[in-house]
Amino acid sequence: MNVNDLFGTPEPGERERMGPCAFVLRGFALPYVDALLPAIAGIEARSPFRHMVTPGGFTMSVALTNCGELGWITNRRGYSYSDLDPDNGQPWPVMPEVFARLAREAALAAGFNGFVPDACLVNRYEPGSRLSLHQDKNERDFSAPIVSVSLGMTATFLFGGNERTDKASKVALYHGDVAVWGGEDRLRYHGVMPLKGAPHPLLGNQRINFTFRKAA
Ligand code: MD3
Ligand code: FE
């Protein structure tokens, strides 16, 4: 039971603890939204969202692109980080200054000083898109935290344990919320339930998530 089960939608400014080193900063990205949206458009113009294929041969329901020095990719050969967009052979778009600032400030607010991400995966969910339970373990060093920014439609996030079979709790992530996790929570299983519900006033029928990582 947590305070939001009793009192409903959380207020911007709340910091919810999900684990010893995992937090949701409610509404932390709201002051950045006006700058983030045109920056996403700029990234998309060079490296459009696309549905990648997993090593098992399934096409992801989530569409993705990347910015920064390295981008997360998947194909029949496996999951990896690449300095080039495989669709156009070009470097990924440069990480916009406002992205890097948001990631650093959010990490600091959760107790991780000096976070400098080299990779930003941008996920786009449409109604029905989901992300099955997984660990983020394609990064070279697990000592840096991960910062995740949610925009648009509300998603139900699944927060599990260190084993796939550990019971996962559900957390609603709203437009503007930022999740930060590291330390002993860095390798916890997590996922996103199929997107459903009301369109967002600003973004319509989609949810966009940025996941900032130190990959190299
Ligand atoms: C893990 N994306 O791309 S991470 C991914 O909403 C991914 O698209 C999610 O998982 C998405 O690999 C955002 C969200 C998250 C938040 C808090 C966590 C993952 C966490 C706390 C501990 C462990
Ligand atoms: Fe993940």
Q: Whose CA is nearest to atom 12 of ligand 1?
A: 136
Pick from 188, 45, 62, 196: which is nearest to 129 by CA? 62
- All domains in the chain, ordered by first residue: 3-213 (2.60.120.590)
The closest residue, in CA terms, to atom 23 on ligand 1 is 188
Q: What is the pLDDT of residue 194?
A: 98
Per-residue pLDDT at 7: 65
Q: Is the CB of 123 under 6 A from ligand 1?
A: yes
131 CA distance to ligand 2 middle (Å): 8
- Rounded CA Rg of the chain: 16
pLDDT band with cut points at 50, 70 and 90 for residue 2 = low
Asked if 189 and 134 count as a contact pair (C-beta separation under 8 A), the reply is yes
What pLDDT digit, counting tens, does each position of 132-185 carry? 999 999 999 899 999 999 999 999 999 999 999 999 999 999 999 999 999 999
Mean residue pLDDT across the chain? 96
Ligand 1 neighbourhood includes 148 CB (under 6 angstroms): yes
